[in-house]
Amino acid sequence: MRAMPALLAAGGWVLLGACAAPPEGPRPGGVMAGDTHTAVLLDEALAPMLQLQAQQGYRDAETGAFIAQTLLLNRSMEMVDLECRTLFKNDAGATVEASAWKPVLLTPAGKAIAMAPSLRPDATRFITQIRRR
């Protein structure tokens, strides 16, 4: 699992991801060549409440599905009722599939995993979108 240490604010959207750009620079569409996964908060007010602890994507050997997992931590002492959806990307960074919005309930100071599968053989990376429910 890859830890995501920083919060970046960008024009009303809050991105959770690594800060350093790879030497070859950004790809078209703002996807960095070295980034394989990231998360986007669609509600800026969630930024102080949530911490993205890790993300992992892997291909299941039995089913062939690409499984996307995002580990979230509730940094507040309130229940946080969220919805998450996963945008699956190919190696070029193009979206090849989008999952349905799925509920994620975080207890005070609790953790939860947002998980989604894709049967697309070209899905190799993902972006998790997060919003209040």
pLDDT (average), residues 38-67: 95
Report all structural domains of the chain as residue ranges with CATH numbers, in order of start: 6-21+28-132 (2.60.40.3230)
**Rounded distance between C-alpha atoms, residue 49 and residue 128, angstroms:** 17
Q: How far apart are CA 32 and CA 63, in angstroms?
A: 29
When pLDDT is averaged across residues 107-123 and rounded to a whole number, the result is 97
The answer, yes or no, to whether residue 4 has pLDDT greater than 60, is: no
pTM above 0.85, yes or no: no
Residue, of 38 and 34, whose pLDDT is higher:
38
What are the beta bridge partners of residue 71?
A: 54, 113
Considering the chain, what percentage of its residues have pLDDT values greater than 70?
73
pLDDT of residue 50: 96
The mean of the pLDDT values for the chain is: 80
Q: Which pLDDT band, with edges at 50, 70 and 90, does 36 fall under?
A: low
Percent of all residues in the chain with a pLDDT value above 90, rounded to a whole number: 72
Q: Is the pLDDT of residue 28 over 50?
A: no
Six-digit token pair at 51? 């911490």
Q: Is the pLDDT of residue 8 over 80?
A: no
- pLDDT score at 35: 56
Question: Which CB contacts under 8 angstroms, 24+ apart, belong to 98-102?
Answer: 101/131
pLDDT digits (tens, 9 = 90+) for 76-97: 999 999 999 999 999 999 999 9
Q: Which residues pair with 128 in a beta bridge?
A: 39, 86
